[in-house]
Amino acid sequence: MTYQQAALCEPFTIGLQANWRGDVRPGDVVLVHGGGPIGLIVANIAKSRGATEIVSEPNESRLAMAKDFGADYSINPMKEDLDAFINKLTDGEGVNVIFEAAGVPALLAHATSQLSPAGRLVAMTFGKEPIPVNFKEINAKELTILGTRHQYQKFPEVVKILPDHLKEVDEITTHVFKAEDFQKAFDTLADRNSGAGKVVLTFA
């Protein structure tokens, strides 16, 4: 493993922590809202835990990457009816786990209707305002809502598993800059049209 690849340890700890919080199990049907770097890593780890994976993402280039990260189904919710797709795939039961990694608070409010009984919602989004949640559905279906922010002692585990994910590491690392070109790196990361996934600075 190169130093450049090892730099992706940290975001993989975030993905592993989220999966641990969501208690993703073999046979679960998992929905990841958002095909950005963290969403794709979450999906990749969920797949490695034996889940059936749905990634919902309106950006077509990110959506194309989702299959390489383990997505069994990749959906553009601007073009397809995601709720109808979930109902058909799960025979109306709903998905077992939802990760909201798109940064869209409204998706959290809607997630309770997409979850199966005893489903788990892992909220990765920060909202500027309080986000309404339907407690009627939470109680009726006995749902669990989980927060996740950093990682809890996940680095040792990621160090062990990362060599099995180097193909995905290389794909998600879309830009590499020398340290002195840091401003160009930040500009690339901020540009929504740059196609940037993870941007790495090198110091050697």
pLDDT per 10-residue tile (average), the chain, 204 residues: 91 95 97 95 95 95 89 96 97 97 91 97 87 91 92 90 93 93 94 87 88
**How would you class 139 by CB atoms within 10 Å of its CB: exposed for 0-12, middle for 13-18, buried for 19 or more?**
exposed
Model pLDDT, residue 153: 87
Residue extents of the structural domains in the chain:
3-147
Query: Do residues 42 and 35 lie in contact, with contact meaning Cβ atoms separated by under 8 Å?
Result: no
pLDDT at 61: 85
**Half-sphere exposure at residue 186, Cβ-oriented, CA atoms within 13 angstroms:** 5
Q: How far apart are alpha carbons 191 and 194 in whole angstroms?
A: 5
Bridge-based pairing state of the strands 95-100 and 29-33? parallel
> Global pTM?
0.91
Q: How many CB atoms lie within 10 A of CB 128?
A: 6
Look up the CATH architecture of domain 3-147: 3-Layer(aba) Sandwich (3.40)
Looking at residue 138, its pLDDT comes to: 95
Strand, helix or coil for residue 120: strand
